């Protein structure tokens, strides 16, 4: 049997996980932890690029995110959860990579372009909101991936241009300093972008359109009741189009065997929206139940969580130091090495 491939994936500690994260990302990481060597980065350094003035938020969410990841079923015996800032080799590698990418190329990166446009909308057009650190986060992401020897990177579609950027940096590195690093490949999620309750293209933590994994049963029910449905349906027995209804959209995630019935009944006007929403709320609550139970266990055992983070970080640091030794040698900065 050959050596397991390494998956490197990451998430920013900027808030709690929602269904978009679960179905777009974390649920897949749970599935892949058996077959792959998996590193899950809590990207606090990256979170600080646009939350540098709010360290309390980042600090608090490192803990919250770890609890959410474990709640989803990430098994610390199989996958390593680590804290980005505790791997100084990543910061070191970022410095050398920053020579291999032009400012113009970063500004052309579609993900960065969108995020800069969003910042300008929020903070005005002066460019004052775009820091050097923010513009450089794709470089730091290339360092995350390669420092940990990540050959496969699970991504949502908003992340694809970032991975392309990482590949370019690796190619440039190898062409200048000799074959040292492996180009990472993407693993595109089967749900690259889960829509929000309001029908928005992305369920987002700051968009007010998310169901969080920690939401209480009451909150889940209330959110489902307010979800966007086919607006042309007025009466209980009007036929409707499930394809424009967010309730049906989420039924597809959690209502398995009943899906066909739900779809036909909706189309034929045999299903009222209230009943349909109540069923969805129940199925979502059932789906979230084991996740909440696992979370409760880890909330009650904080020392176990500390140990998981420490051990995961230790393994990540070991791997990153191996990579850095190769990198220093290639760049001829391996002074005083035996
Ligand atoms: P932020 O607003 O802080 O950027 P985010 O919700 O975009 O938060 P990230 O930490 O940037 O979260 O993303 C973590 C992972 O979750 C990424 O792989 C991202 O593609 C995925 N993800 C986030 N939201 C969704 C969604 N609605 N559907 C599918 N995947 C998602
Ligand atoms: Mg994001």
Q: How many helices (H) and strands (E) does the chain have?
A: 15, 5
Strand ranges for the chain from DSSP E: 6-11, 37-42, 79-83, 152-155, 185-188
What's the CATH number where 284 sits?
1.10.240.10
Tell which residue, 39, 65, 74, has the closest CA to residue 320: 39
Q: Do the domain assignments include residue 100?
A: yes
Q: Given the CA of residue 157, which atom of ligand 1 is nearest to it? A: 20
Cβ–Cβ under 8 Å, residues 134 and 50:
yes
Tokens 């974390």 locate to 26
Q: Do the domain assignments include residue 203?
A: no
Q: Within this chain, do residues 155 and 229 fall inside the same structural domain, yes or no?
A: no
Cβ–Cβ under 8 Å, residues 217 and 285:
yes
**Alpha-carbon dihedral 118, 122, 126, 128, rounded to 10 degrees:** -90
Q: Within this chain, do residues 11 and 88 fall inside the same structural domain, yes or no?
A: yes
Tell me the residue length of the chain. 338
Q: Do the domain assignments include residue 123?
A: yes
Q: Within this chain, do residues 285 and 307 fall inside the same structural domain, yes or no?
A: no
Per residue in 184-197, pLDDT (tens digit) is 999 988 898 999 99
Q: Which ligand is nearest to the CA of 207?
A: 1
Q: Within this chain, do residues 149 and 186 fall inside the same structural domain, yes or no?
A: yes
- Other residues' Cβ atoms within 10 Å of the Cβ of residue 306: 12
Domain with 127, as residue range(s), is 6-195+302-330
The protein residue with its alpha carbon nearest to ligand 1, atom 20, reads 156
Q: Tens of pLDDT along the chain (338 residues)?
A: 468 899 999 999 999 999 999 999 999 999 999 999 999 999 999 999 989 999 999 999 999 999 999 999 999 999 999 999 999 999 999 999 999 999 999 999 999 998 888 888 877 766 677 899 999 999 999 999 999 999 999 988 888 999 999 999 999 999 999 999 999 999 988 898 999 999 999 999 888 999 999 999 999 999 999 999 999 988 888 888 999 999 999 999 999 888 999 999 999 999 999 999 999 999 999 999 999 999 999 999 999 999 999 999 999 999 999 999 999 999 999 999 76
Q: Do the domain assignments include residue 1?
A: no
Q: Within this chain, do residues 184 and 274 fall inside the same structural domain, yes or no?
A: no
| Residue among 156, 160, 194 to mutate when testing ligand 1 (max atoms within 8 A of CB) | 156
Residue 205 token pair: 């933590």
Query: What is the H or E stretch that residue 61 is in?
Result: helix 55-72
Tell which residue, 234, 311, 300, 256, has the closest CA to residue 71: 300
Q: Within this chain, do residues 315 and 256 fall inside the same structural domain, yes or no?
A: no
| Residue among 25, 57, 141, 252 to mutate when testing ligand 1 (max atoms within 8 A of CB) | 25
Residues near ligand 1 with C-beta < 6 Å?
A: 11-12, 14, 20-21, 24-25, 155-156, 158-159, 191, 193-194, 202-206
Q: Within this chain, do residues 162 and 258 fall inside the same structural domain, yes or no?
A: no
Q: Do the domain assignments include residue 201?
A: no
What pairs with residue 37 in β-bridges? 6
Q: Within this chain, do residues 159 and 245 fall inside the same structural domain, yes or no?
A: no
Residue 272 token pair: 């009222």
What's the CATH number where 102 sits?
3.40.50.620
Q: Within this chain, do residues 36 and 136 fall inside the same structural domain, yes or no?
A: yes
The protein residue with its alpha carbon nearest to ligand 1, atom 4, reads 12
CA 78 – CA 203 distance, rounded (Å): 29
Q: Within this chain, do residues 273 and 309 fall inside the same structural domain, yes or no?
A: no
N-to-C CA span, the chain: 34
Q: Within this chain, do residues 144 and 290 fall inside the same structural domain, yes or no?
A: no
Q: Give the SS3 label for residue 79.
A: strand
DSSP state at residue 242: G
The total number of structural domains in the chain stands at 2
Q: Do the domain assignments include residue 86?
A: yes
DSSP state at residue 48: H
Q: Give the SS3 label for residue 156.
A: coil
Distance 170 CA to ligand 2 centre (A): 23
Q: Do the domain assignments include residue 142?
A: yes
Q: Within this chain, do residues 173 and 279 fall inside the same structural domain, yes or no?
A: no
Strand ranges for 170-232 from DSSP E: 185-188
CA 267 – CA 232 distance, rounded (Å): 12
Q: Do the domain assignments include residue 89?
A: yes
């Amino acid at each position: 049997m050959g050596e397991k491939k390494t998956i490197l994936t990451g998430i920013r500690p900027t808030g709690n996980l929602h269904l978009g994260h679960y179905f777009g990302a974390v649920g897949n990481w749970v599935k892949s932890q058996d077959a792959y060597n998996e590193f899950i980065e809590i990207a606090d350094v990256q979170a600080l690029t646009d939350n540098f003035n709010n360290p309390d938020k980042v600090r608090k969410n490192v803990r919250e995110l770890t609890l959410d990841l474990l709640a989803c079923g990430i098994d610390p015996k199989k996958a390593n959860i680590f804290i980005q800032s505790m791997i100084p080799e990543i910061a070191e590698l970022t410095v050398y990579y920053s020579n291999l990418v032009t400012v113009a190329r970063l500004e052309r990166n579609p993900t960065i372009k969108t995020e800069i446009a969003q910042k300008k909308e929020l903070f005005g057009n002066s460019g004052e909101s775009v820091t050097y650190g923010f513009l450089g986060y794709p470089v730091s992401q290339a360092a995350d991936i390669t420092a940990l020897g990540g050959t496969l990177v699970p991504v949502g579609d908003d992340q694809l241009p970032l991975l392309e950027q990482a590949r370019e940096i690796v190619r440039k590195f190898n062409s200048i300093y000799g074959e040292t690093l492996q180009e990472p490949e993407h693993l595109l999620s089967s749900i690259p972008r889960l829509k929000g309750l309001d029908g928005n293209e992305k369920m987002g933590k700051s968009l007010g359109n998310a169901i969080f994994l920690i939401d209480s049963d009451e909150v889940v029910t209330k959110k489902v009741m307010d979800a966007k449905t086919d607006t042309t349906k007025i009466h209980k027995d009007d036929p409707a189009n499930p394809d424009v209804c967010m309730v049906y959209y989420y039924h597809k995630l959690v209502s398995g065997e009943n899906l066909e019935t739900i779809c036909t009944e909706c189309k034929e006007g045999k299903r009222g929206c209230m009943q349909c929403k109540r069923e969805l709320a129940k199925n979502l609550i059932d789906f979230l139940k084991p996740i909440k139970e696992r979370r409760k266990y880890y909330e009650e055992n904080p020392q176990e969580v500390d140990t998981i983070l420490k051990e995961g970080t230790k393994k990540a640091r070991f791997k990153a130091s191996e990579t850095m030794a190769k990198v220093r040698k290639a760049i001829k900065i391996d002074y005083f090495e035996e």
